[in-house]
A and B are shown apart, each in its own frame.
Chain A
């Protein structure tokens, strides 16, 4: 195996429970984003655009769609003879039981053999939760220039929001002397982006020790504090581009609305550092004679006959005559029936909405079952669902499955209600 200077380990096993129905049947990194992409496309594309051609993807929760999407890595040019992409699932080792990945560092610990096989100088740790474009090669250059043992990418956040992040306290040279997870009284505004470069020898030793000390070793909770404990060189690498955590329904929705601004802060349309994705069928998109499409992104294969404003349509979406879609995200292969009105709703893949349906109407009542997930008025309909003709659905609703008229009281699902069949 040829030696690699730096390889990447991409943590993609998280459930992302705050994305509600969107992660019912797939891991968060496999959730669609920006019409034609999936969240994991962003770190994967960053890797290849940064010259990192060896990527281990750690999967655990509902990996089927993720595995299918990644395949052998062809869309990202990661189908390599030497290196490329490897899916790393939890596995049974000789003489003991298998263990699930119990923490972010534990997941890497369980794959030490895989990293050793490539014998890298440095390891990049990233996750499949964020939307951003970043050149990891520049970060590596910084890591080497600082003679760092661990480098953490940080974002300057408004100090009043700093209590929501892992905050790095650093000296004038950006050398980190303290790490605080969600501090009540933040001393700095440098928030960790969950992107690390480690010198592999140092990390390897630390992972082994952490495994003896903690059952669920985690980078933020254990590894970084241990590096500090042993007075290793840890530096903050400042990043000043667009970066968005899309871990909640609201932040996921807002990140989409960012994309449809006339001049978006996050630009998908520039020629360099493209984002790649696996799309097996990509005919052009048709906008009909009576259609009205404004301030929207429309992906390949869509057929739009109705009105679409401030919305994102994934590939192969059909919007029928007389349908109205506002402030919504409609994912691949879904169909919006005639004279149906959809407002502030996220509709996952391959869902069929009947005719004369109204979604997103009524009072903004938080969801009764999961008030912490659905509370900003956005209704979410899971993939492969069916909504029958003529029903009315409120705000903060969650719907999964093939529903029929008999599942609705008076053809209605009130705001904050959940329907699973």
Chain B
């Protein structure tokens, strides 16, 4: 493969409130057994890219825990591999990453030591399956300097996205991040392709000028001077940028078309193996329309919900329209509706926890209710 990868996994998202107090958005658990970054990491490997840098910064402990071995995604090779890049102190630098562009700039050795012609840059919190080779083919065919992967979100509120308009030949015309008044339904998915040497040149130009943001200071600022193209993508894609979108992404996995595309069609999305036994349904359990992680033990009722690994649902408990993260226990006679129960939570006997569809109730990690 003639490209290397960069995954931005360092960003902070206040919009996820309690859920990102203890983890980066790229480490958000989704779909019973994955973390968000599994999707971009697997996409990289499945696209034949075997050298990938993951840039971490904010709340990186749980992300580093997840990335403790590159073998889960098949990076354990002599050539290439996974490079986890975190802020560090040195003679020339003693700051945190001041932005996405700065985070690459501070690790520019990674770019300079590589020989591959192209760089594929993505964020670590998108949920999708994509062959980046298609994007690279588009990039080469268009003779582009920078390619941005875009998607038409139709009627969805896009004020949280980078909103784009394209000219008839596919060139990016307008591009504004989180516009107050969105002027288009087309958004950037945060997936970019460019030449490695061009990225080095641009970084060495902008960062010394005090410009640190990859999207604002490279893609948007240079969109007229350079050939910046948008490639439309119409497969499943979902980004985690609010509690509601996080809730909806998990519920999307209850759709068989989403499961077929993301789970059962090769190439597969890989995750860290936790060696849990099969899920155990006991004699009085009732489970309908639910995604169940391995190692779960169910005695009660589970409906329209997503259960992660090793969750326990006690007898006479009822869980509806909820997301229960790994290792949490729901006690007897509890009623849980429209809730997101974070990891390792204990809900004691007889509790009632209810949110609403648009405002799910969140229970903090490790808490006892």
Which residues of A line the B interface, CB within 8 A? 34-36, 74-75, 260, 262, 268-269, 274-277, 279-301, 303, 308, 312-313
Give the docked Cα–Cα distance between A300 and B294 (Å). Answer: 6
Specify which chain A residues have a CB less than 8 angstroms from the CB of B277 in the assembled complex.
34-36, 268-269, 275, 297
Say whether A282 contacts B278, CB under 8 Å. no
Say whether A283 contacts B284, CB under 8 Å. no
Q: Specify which of A279, A285, A301 lies most central, judged by the most chain B CB atoms within 10 Å of its CB.
A: A285
Residues 84 to 125 of chain B near chain A (Cβ within 8 Å): none
Say whether B289 contacts A287, CB under 8 Å. yes
A243 to chain B, nearest CB (A): 18
Say whether A282 contacts B271, CB under 8 Å. yes
Say whether B278 contacts A300, CB under 8 Å. yes
Q: Which residue of B lies closest to A74 (CB)?
A: B71
Specify which chain B residues have a CB less than 8 angstroms from the CB of A34 in the assembled complex.
277-278
Specify which chain B residues have a CB less than 8 angstroms from the CB of A291 in the assembled complex.
287-288
Specify which chain B residues have a CB less than 8 angstroms from the CB of A274 in the assembled complex.
275
B32 to chain A, nearest CB (A): 3
Give the docked Cα–Cα distance between A277 and B31 (Å). Answer: 22
Query: How would residues 261 to 287 of chain B score, 1 for a CB under 8 Å from any chain A CB and 0 otherwise?
Result: 011100011010101011111111111
Specify which chain A residues have a CB less than 8 angstroms from the CB of B71 in the assembled complex.
74
Q: Which residue of B lies closest to A45 (CB)?
A: B275
Specify which chain A residues have a CB less than 8 angstroms from the CB of B289 in the assembled complex.
287-289
Specify which chain A residues have a CB less than 8 angstroms from the CB of B284 in the assembled complex.
294
Query: Which of A281, A287, A296, A303 interacts with B288 by CB under 8 Å?
Result: A287
Say whether B294 contacts A294, CB under 8 Å. no
5 closest A-B pairs by CB: A284-B32, A283-B263, A268-B277, A35-B278, A299-B278
Say whether A285 contacts B279, CB under 8 Å. yes
Give the docked Cα–Cα distance between A39 and B259 (Å). Answer: 30
Say whether B278 contacts A293, CB under 8 Å. no
Can you show 24 pairs from A to B with CB atoms below 8 A apart? A34-B278, A35-B277, A36-B278, A262-B283, A262-B299, A269-B280, A269-B295, A269-B297, A277-B275, A282-B273, A282-B294, A283-B31, A283-B33, A283-B259, A283-B268, A284-B291, A285-B279, A286-B290, A295-B281, A295-B282, A297-B281, A300-B33, A301-B264, A312-B278
Specify which chain B residues have a CB less than 8 angstroms from the CB of A36 in the assembled complex.
277-278, 294
Query: Which of B32, B281, B286 interacts with A298 by CB under 8 Å?
Result: B281
Say whether B263 contacts A290, CB under 8 Å. no
Give the docked Cα–Cα distance between A177 and B269 (Å). Answer: 58
Specify which chain B residues have a CB less than 8 angstroms from the CB of A297 in the assembled complex.
277-281
Specify which chain A residues have a CB less than 8 angstroms from the CB of B268 in the assembled complex.
280-281, 283
Specify which chain A residues have a CB less than 8 angstroms from the CB of B271 in the assembled complex.
282
Q: Given A34-B278, A284-B292, A290-B288, A301 and B283 touching (CB < 8 A)?
A: no
Label chain B's interface by main secondary structure.
loop
Say whether A293 contacts B281, CB under 8 Å. yes
Query: How would residues 61 to 83 of chain B score, 1 for a CB under 8 Å from any chain A CB and 0 otherwise?
Result: 00000000001000000000000
Q: Given A36-B278, A274-B275, A294 and B288 touching (CB < 8 A)?
A: no
Say whether A284 contacts B281, CB under 8 Å. no
Cβ of B149 < 8 Å from any Cβ of A?
Answer: no
A414 to chain B, nearest CB (A): 33
Query: Which of A284, A288, A289 interacts with B33 by CB under 8 Å?
Result: A284
Q: Specify which of A35, A275, A276, A287 lies most central, judged by the most chain B CB atoms within 10 Å of its CB.
A: A287
Give the docked Cα–Cα distance between A74 and B32 (Å). Answer: 24
Cβ of B360 < 8 Å from any Cβ of A?
Answer: no
Q: Given A298-B281, A313-B278, A283 and B288 touching (CB < 8 A)?
A: no
Q: Which residue of B lies closest to A292 (CB)?
A: B286
Cβ of B293 < 8 Å from any Cβ of A?
Answer: yes
Specify which chain A residues have a CB less than 8 angstroms from the CB of B263 in the assembled complex.
283-284, 301
Q: Which residue of B lies closest to A280 (CB)?
A: B268
Give the docked Cα–Cα distance between A262 and B275 (Å). Answer: 21
Say whether B264 contacts A283, CB under 8 Å. yes
Give the docked Cα–Cα distance between A290 and B288 (Å). Answer: 6
Say whether B285 contacts A293, CB under 8 Å. yes
Q: Given A35-B278, A268-B277, A269-B277, A287 and B292 touching (CB < 8 A)?
A: yes
Specify which chain A residues have a CB less than 8 angstroms from the CB of B287 in the assembled complex.
287, 291, 293
B298 to chain A, nearest CB (A): 9
Cβ of B254 < 8 Å from any Cβ of A?
Answer: yes
Specify which chain B residues have a CB less than 8 angstroms from the CB of A279 in the assembled complex.
273
Query: How would residues 14 to 48 of chain B score, 1 for a CB under 8 Å from any chain A CB and 0 otherwise?
Result: 00000000000000000111000000000000000
Say whether B288 contacts A284, CB under 8 Å. no
A355 to chain B, nearest CB (A): 19
Extra 5 A-B pairs, beta carbons < 8 Å, given A268-B277, A283-B33, A313-B278: A269-B280, A269-B297, A276-B275, A288-B288, A293-B287
Q: Given A282-B33, A283-B263, A284-B294, A289 and B282 touching (CB < 8 A)?
A: no
Q: Given A298-B279, A300-B278, A286 and B288 touching (CB < 8 A)?
A: no
B344 to chain A, nearest CB (A): 12
Specify which chain B residues have a CB less than 8 angstroms from the CB of A296 in the assembled complex.
280-281
Residues 283 to 328 of chain B near chain A (Cβ within 8 Å): 283-295, 297, 299, 310
Say whether A294 contacts B282, CB under 8 Å. yes
Specify which chain B residues have a CB less than 8 angstroms from the CB of A268 in the assembled complex.
277
Say whether B278 contacts A287, CB under 8 Å. no
Query: Which of A75, A280, A294 interacts with B281 by CB under 8 Å?
Result: A294
Q: Which residue of B lies closest to A311 (CB)?
A: B281
Q: Specify which of B33, B286, B290 lies most central, judged by the most chain A CB atoms within 10 Å of its CB.
A: B290
Specify which chain B residues have a CB less than 8 angstroms from the CB of A74 in the assembled complex.
71
Give the docked Cα–Cα distance between A285 and B308 (Å). Answer: 10
Give the docked Cα–Cα distance between A412 and B254 (Å). Answer: 38
Q: Which residue of B lies closest to A288 (CB)?
A: B289
Q: Given A268-B277, A284-B32, A313-B278, A295 and B294 touching (CB < 8 A)?
A: no
Say whether A295 contacts B283, CB under 8 Å. yes
A225 to chain B, nearest CB (A): 40
Q: Specify which of B33, B71, B280, B290 lies most central, judged by the most chain A CB atoms within 10 Å of its CB.
A: B280
Give the docked Cα–Cα distance between A29 and B268 (Å). Answer: 28
B270 to chain A, nearest CB (A): 8
Specify which chain A residues have a CB less than 8 angstroms from the CB of B31 in the assembled complex.
283-284
Give the docked Cα–Cα distance between A349 and B297 (Å). Answer: 25
B322 to chain A, nearest CB (A): 15
Give the docked Cα–Cα distance between A296 and B256 (Å). Answer: 23
Specify which chain A residues have a CB less than 8 angstroms from the CB of B283 in the assembled complex.
262, 294-295
B251 to chain A, nearest CB (A): 13
